[in-house]
A = this chain, B = another copy of it.
């Protein structure tokens, strides 16, 4: 097993970059929830390729087809399966890769693991394209969570030297998410987005790529979600977010920076706010002992630079067992971070709705 997530909401992803279709099955949705398919399509569009000068030229309309799970547009208690047909697949681009693994791609590890039988076309099941069904499942969870008063938003915090404003850990609001979605790149401060865009364009021009950091916030969560030890919200979110290709780090609240502070600096003091208990600061990222404490949940995911670059790289020929030089062909994003933003939201939505149903 590899591509299933969740304890009560079971999300199963299938498909390869160039298989007839990719898709997802969502088992465990409650009955009686109206699904807005137009909104789902709009959400998927935020992830789709081919929309601007900074993403891959592969064009896929990514139209989701819901095969089951609805009756009259409303969830019926049965598993909800969605597929997306693959259309613009150019498998010929990938023939060489059967023999010469791309640096920092899964090619070599998969070659050994699957005895040479894995689908190399377009990266197969390892392709970033598999985030489309993740977003399909997450888009549905986002709709449902919103109906419960829970809102999730992410933005690009950093790309190369260009840095956006971080979320205000205690004061973040839905308005911030609106600002992010109106900007051409998903950032709080538009000029930061413009700098990022320039970084990306320059990387492309150099046949190179850049990585970055996505910050995600969740507001409106009830106190008490998550469980201690292995089923905490941090465990659950990290488990799923590391499922997005390219993620190499996840941190909550003050994270790695907080590890350098003193307790007196990093602790979040409590106060009474009407009937509620709140904290003045939120270095804990809304999670203590694995359980939500009512403050916004805040985490960041580090994305490595796209490993597919135009520059020549050292690799090996598996058949000839000798060193060689590789020129990666195919169409690639010089930076996947902008398109990763909805993926992070989707992953968080699945993790949190699963935790919500499991409570």
Contact = CB atoms under 8 A, between A and B. Distances in A.
B258 A71 contact: no
A25 interface: yes
Number of copies: 4
Interface in A108-129: 108-110, 112-121, 124-126
Contacts of A258: 211, 248, 302, 304-305
A77 B117 contact: yes
Nearest to A322: B272
Nearest to A236: B239
Query: What bracket does the count of chain A residues touching chain B fall in?
Result: 35 or more
A173 interface: no
B5 A106 contact: no
A74 B130 contact: no
B78 A270 contact: no
A92 interface: no
Nearest to A233: B242
Interface in A334-358: 358
A175 interface: no
A234 interface: yes
Nearest to A85: B67
B268 A104 contact: yes
Given A117-B71, A210-B262, A109 B76 contact: no
B261 A243 contact: no
A291 to B, nearest CB: 4
A63 to B, nearest CB: 14
B31 A78 contact: no
Contacts of A49: none
Nearest to A33: B117
B76 A125 contact: yes
Given A23-B81, A213-B259, A230-B243, A67 B251 contact: no
A264 B311 contact: yes
Contacts of A306: 263
B23 A109 contact: no
A322 to B, nearest CB: 6
9 contacts: A3-B230, A21-B67, A21-B68, A76-B114, A104-B268, A107-B288, A211-B259, A251-B251, A277-B316
